[in-house]
Amino acid sequence: MQDIKDKVLNGDEYTFIWKDIHKPILIGLGGSWAYGTNVESSDIDVRGISLNTSEEILTNKNFEQLLHEPTDTCIYGFNKIISLLSNCNPNTIEILGLKPEQYIYIHPIGQELLDNKKMFLSKKCIHTFGSYAASQARRLDNKAVRLVDQEHRENHILNSIENAKYTFHEKYFEHDSDSIKLYVDKAVNEEYDTEIFMDVNLKHYPLRDYKGMWSEMQNIVKDYSKIGKRNKHAIEHNKLAKHMMHLVRLYLMAIDLLEKEEIITYREKDHDFIMSIRNGKYLDANYQPTPEFYEMLDELEKRFEYAKNNTSLPESPDYKKINEFVMSVNRRVVTGEVM
């Protein structure tokens, strides 16, 4: 780990982090090195946060992120990361849950952020992690090219749509939560045993907004049905087991958020278990996921459902505390207190 720190802090290929006009406040490991699932051939992923400049703050210019592909490095702007963290974005909130030795650099403001990370936690993680897990499950189904019973498949699709619907009230014209009801029932289509039905009760509703909602739901159904060249590539290159591992890891992290109210990125207690998945324990002779894996996945889904219904997390993050923190940091930047 120390070799990686020295490389990022002093290596020529990482000078863009330290010599850019945006001051870094938190730099840490990402990807498999962050989760503890790295192997000898694993690439080093670096994730970080940099302050917005005083000019950007005062003129409302946008610096969202810097992506440096040669080193697999992504540095988020402070204002952008705050928005992502407030929504419990799975790909960014993990930077707040590393082990101390996995942080390469921590500025005092970065430490303030870590000390107050619980202000970002809320029930929003149910839908962000739920949607992400559902999309990863769809990708796994497609990569594995498995034949599942129709009801199981339809319920996966329905769960994905329900998670997407959570954001409809933010994007589209207001409507009652029960005005679009989706459920699985006995199929009328002869090709299926069961299928998803909908009851819609909308009056004087903007057509374009309805079209937007319908397109999102339709795209989820289409996405679930795609089986293309990427799936064959994944099987041929033994990437299926890695995908299976990350899906399980995602559920475990989400359950920790809901049950323990903690961000646990490095899966120390689960290490041997999830690495056994990566190493192919749950692949059959044809490199397809075994029935035991899907039984385990079903149990994780049940645990997630129970956790989301019994969590004590608040409905929304602590916006008052978050806004006060953002104002304090940006004020220090504008007044030159941050060097």
Q: Are residues 273 and 249 in the same domain?
A: yes
Question: Is residue 187 one of the residues assigned to a domain?
Answer: no
Question: Is residue 286 one of the residues assigned to a domain?
Answer: yes
User: For 211-230, what is each residue's pLDDT tens digit?
Assistant: 999 998 988 888 776 544 44
Q: Are residues 264 and 223 in the same domain?
A: yes
189 or 101: which leads in pLDDT:
101
Residue 197, pLDDT > 70, answer yes
What proportion of the chain, given as a percentage, has pLDDT over 70? 92
Question: Is residue 7 one of the residues assigned to a domain?
Answer: yes
Residue 135, pLDDT > 50, answer yes
Question: Is residue 184 one of the residues assigned to a domain?
Answer: no
CA distance 334 to 126: 36
What proportion of the chain, given as a percentage, has pLDDT over 90? 63
Domain membership of residue 27 as a residue range:
2-120+316-334
Residue 237, pLDDT > 90, answer no
CB within 8 Å of 83: residues ≥ 6 apart: none
146 or 103: which leads in pLDDT:
103
Q: Is the dihedral of CA 77, 80, 86, 90 positive or negative?
A: negative
Domain containing residue 62: CATH number: 3.30.460
Cα separations in angstroms, 175 against 130, 158, 183, 215, 218 = 23, 20, 19, 17, 19
**Mean pLDDT on 80-100:** 95
Question: Is residue 224 one of the residues assigned to a domain?
Answer: yes
Q: Are residues 237 and 139 in the same domain?
A: yes
Residue 49, pLDDT > 80, answer yes
Element (H, E) at 181: strand 180-186
Q: What is the pLDDT of residue 287?
A: 79
CA distance 301 to 130: 9
Q: Are residues 156 and 297 in the same domain?
A: yes
CA distance 288 to 286: 5
Beta strands in 20-171 (DSSP E): 24-30, 45-50, 65-68, 73-77, 103-106
Residue 233, pLDDT > 80, answer no
Identify whether the C-beta of residue 78 lies closer than 8 Å to the C-beta of residue 52: yes
Q: Are residues 141 and 216 in the same domain?
A: yes
Question: Is residue 194 one of the residues assigned to a domain?
Answer: no
Q: Are residues 162 and 90 in the same domain?
A: no
Q: Are residues 53 and 105 in the same domain?
A: yes
Q: Are residues 111 and 166 in the same domain?
A: no
Question: What is the number of domains present in the chain?
Answer: 2
Question: Is residue 290 one of the residues assigned to a domain?
Answer: yes
**Mean pLDDT on 288-311:** 92
Q: What is the pLDDT of residue 338?
A: 86
User: For 308-336, what is each residue's pLDDT tens digit?
Assistant: 999 999 999 999 999 999 999 999 999 99
Q: Are residues 301 and 251 in the same domain?
A: yes
Q: What is the DSSP code string of 96-140? A: GG--GGGEEEE-HHHHHHHHTGGGG-STHHHHHHHHHHHHHHHHH
- Measured distance between the N- and C-terminal CA atoms of the chain, rounded to whole angstroms: 28
